[in-house]
Amino acid sequence: MTQTLRKCASSLFTILALFSATAAHAQTVAGGAQHTVVAIPGGAVYTWGANTNGQLGDGTTTAHKTPEIVSTIASVTALAAGQAHTLALKSDGTVWAWGANSYG
């Protein structure tokens, strides 16, 4: 439990550092089993954490310890994250998904 709390606190501090530096505030935040995804006002998306199944959306399976922008998506208004996948609702009503696809 203590290790889980440390990971959550570490993620929170990372979010605060990123958005304090850019003077932005998170619009929506979602957490998967080992990754985090944040959309900021304007719809840009940042991800970090494990990336074994491509759940960070950067086209690789390389993990990131710090937030990195997902350059392939914009205008995101809501997010959800699962075990190893991410879902994003765009302002045009479309839903985008990336990461694990075990069940189609």
Residues facing residue 28 across a β-bridge: 39
pTM above 0.95, yes or no: no
Structure tokens belonging to residue 1: 């439990």
At residue 93's C-alpha, the angle toward residues 89 and 64, to 5°, is: 20
SS3 26: coil
The four Cα atoms 93, 98, 102, 104 give a dihedral, to 10 degrees, of 40
Q: Tens digits of per-residue pLDDT, 10-40?
A: 666 666 665 554 445 678 889 999 999 999 9
Query: What are phi and psi for residue 23, nearest 5 degrees?
Result: 60, 30
Per-residue pLDDT band at 6 (split at 50, 70, 90): low
